[in-house]
Structure 1
Amino acid sequence: MNRITRRAVLGATLAAPAIAQAQTWPSGSIRIVVPFAPGGSTDAVARLAAPGLSQRLGVPVVIENRSGAAGSLGTQVVATARPDGQTWLLTFDSHATLPALLPNLPFNLTRDLDPVMLIGGAPYVIATRPDKPYRSLADVVAAARARPDGVSYGSTGNGTIGHLTMILLGSRANIRMAHVPYRGGGLAVNDTVAGHVEMMIGSAAVVAPHIAGGTLRPIVQFGPERLPALAQVPTAVEGGFAGLEAEAWWGVFAPHGTPDAIQARMFTALKESFQEERVNRTMTETQQARVVLGDKAMFGPFLDRQIAQWGGLVREFRIQAD
């Protein structure tokens, strides 16, 4: 004979409103906040997913770019939003450095945001204009030694993983380079192509289309192995820097308290959207990304490791926000 306990009744009573809310969700257009300027890889990933999400959820999906303060401005919009499933964050790897970079954040990264999906990642790449003299990592190191602070590079901002990777390279090679931070990968690409900076570091996702188009030339990649599309480009490890690896990643977050059922529906819609043949091919071939589509059970521990690794470097090198 089944015995109905008070705890079971209470649990069902508390769950009922969340289930009802999930069944009526979404109640209007969905907003996905990208905390960086248009034109970068994070913006591109969000816009790839949007049509599929709109089709599956039956409402418009609006991508809102809210750049500034190392991505914290847009992130705060989501961290303080109502947890009703209408506002989501799609962000980049620099998310993990925010607590160390901005210790007085008006929100708590892990308490105010729930990890929903680890979309995937791509190795970082240093790229330059084809007419620049840098053809290898050794060329970059030699030039930086000859002209301390005279060789410039762009990144998506102070304290981002790309910037930290260059800081590590400088420390290991005993060189100093001039860092020019931007509010997004697209802006860094534009200035590199225009010749305003000597080179840039960005994810393979943001530089690959420009490499394919001939406006940028790759110098070195920071993945554990060579990408098939960059088979002629050595890794930093091959260049003599053992252990110097860095991969970009993209993830989706919800305001804390968003009902689990809504998060589950969003995860499913995201997964199906990124599994569409066109979207998946664009991610893997055009943007050279490794598609993971990991759930919160994978994403949560992954994020904790990223915060510990890269946040530790921010504190070690005393990096400050732009």
Structure 2
Amino acid sequence: MEDPMLRRAFCTLLIVSAVWAPALAQVADWPKRQPVKLVAVFPPGGSVDQVARILAQQLSTQLGQNVIVENRVGASGVVGTASVVNGPPDGYSFAVVFDTHAVNPSLISNIPFDTRKDVAPVILVGTAPMLLATAANSEYKTFADVVAAAKARRNVSVGSVANGSLGHLAMALLARNGGLEWTHVPYKGGGPLMQDAVAGHVPLSIASIVVTKPHIDSKRLRPLAVTTSVRSADLPDVPTVAESGFAGFDAPAWWGVLASAKTPPEIVRRMNDEINKALKVPEVASRLQGQGMTIVGGTPEAAAAFIDKQLTTWAQVVKENNIKAD
């Protein structure tokens, strides 16, 4: 090849081929190389673990490859997410996260990844309302009673599952927007909170519908309002905060699947397609809805937009209310 320009072009083509060929092969044979891992960022038995296991079982069938669940817990989901974000971006490891993912950057210093730049949202699996409730014999008969007491500065106390939890932040947001005043009482999880709520030791509780509904069903707690913009199908008679004088208020619990931002976008898109397909399987949908979840699905772009809004909303609430992690 005598022409220098042709020679340079040919060499460039060889270099580009050498760089891209392995990546193209990686995409083409996914997921044949090895089992796919779903990292549940909270302990076994919780909602994140259950979501991961429900998806893993169906995805194994669809992909023709083992999909395994690994629990990597700590720092409200940071530890497990970091293991995926900072691990090999080969499409064989995904994180299953909870709503704390969007709160953590504002509460936890030195997170070992950039939540916006280093993470590729794959899909928003679903959302669920949090439920404000009170003991069956409480003075609060309606959400309006709570609002009136809070406006009158009558020492209203609200318990949540943890300091900095989404329930805590939702009530802080509501207080600021509505000129309300209440005292936050943090607990170490849903179990202890429900024990005190049922006994009337804490006048109000804010927790997921999954945690609270059994006590509603047993008539030991009275539901007052849900935090999502629409009513819950599980509790259709319970009003939303938004329709109770706080238009636009929406603070859902949510579950999502994430990947490293360095993962080939073709693999992210394929995983998104497979999970969307799984969410349409009646048995999968039924099991997820049994947790009080409204299934969402959709594109990676829609998931990214949702999570970005959550990050912005809760960062502002944390800052304005000077909320600190335990």
Determine whether 1:302 maps to 2:309. no
After TM superposition, the structure 1 = structure 2 runs for residues 214-233 of structure 1, keeping only pairs within 5 Å, are 214=219, 216-233=221-238
Instruction: After superposing the two structures, state which structure 1 stretch, 29-38 or 79-88, moved more.
Output: 29-38
CA separation of 1:83 and 1:94: change in aligned 2, threshold 3 A: same
Q: State whether residues 168 and 184 of structure 2, in contact with CA within 8 Å, keep that contact through their aligned partners in structure 1.
A: no
Classify the secondary structure of the residue corresponding to 2:113: coil
Percent identity between the two aligned chains: 37
Q: Residues of 1 paired with 2:70 and 2:218: CA distance?
A: 26
- Which residue is equivalent to 1:287? 291
Determine whether 1:311 maps to 2:315. yes
After TM superposition, the structure 1 = structure 2 runs for residues 173-322 of structure 1, keeping only pairs within 5 Å, are 173-182=179-188, 185=190, 188-189=193-194, 192=197, 197-208=202-213, 211-212=216-217, 214=219, 216-284=221-289, 286-322=290-326
**5+ long unaligned stretches in structure 2:** 1-8
Deviation at 1:59, TM superposition (A): 0.8
For 1:50, which of 53, 56, 76 is the aligned residue? Answer: 56
Q: Residues of 1 paired with 2:111 and 2:257: CA distance?
A: 20
Q: CA RMSD in A?
A: 3.1
Deviation at 1:146, TM superposition (A): 6.8
Q: Residues of 2 paired with 1:84 and 1:246: CA distance?
A: 34
Q: State whether residues 26 and 86 of structure 1, in contact with CA within 8 Å, keep that contact through their aligned partners in structure 2.
A: no
Larger radius of gyration: 2
TM-score, length-normalised on structure 1? 0.82
Instruction: After superposing the two structures, state which structure 1 stretch, 85-94 or 6-15, moved more.
Output: 6-15
Q: State whether residues 153 and 182 of structure 2, in contact with CA within 8 Å, keep that contact through their aligned partners in structure 1.
A: no
Q: State whether residues 46 and 63 of structure 1, in contact with CA within 8 Å, keep that contact through their aligned partners in structure 2.
A: no
Q: Residues of 2 paired with 1:37 and 1:193: CA distance?
A: 25
CA separation of 1:238 and 1:262: change in aligned 2, threshold 3 A: closer
**5+ long unaligned stretches in structure 1:** none
Q: State whether residues 41 and 203 of structure 1, in contact with CA within 8 Å, keep that contact through their aligned partners in structure 2.
A: no
CA separation of 1:189 and 1:113: change in aligned 2, threshold 3 A: farther
Deviation at 1:273, TM superposition (A): 1.9
Instruction: After superposing the two structures, state which structure 1 stretch, 292-301 or 7-16, moved more.
Output: 7-16
Deviation at 1:128, TM superposition (A): 3.9
Q: Residues of 2 paired with 1:128 and 1:47: CA distance?
A: 32
Classify the secondary structure of the residue corresponding to 2:258: strand
- Which residue is equivalent to 1:138? 144
CA separation of 1:73 and 1:24: change in aligned 2, threshold 3 A: closer
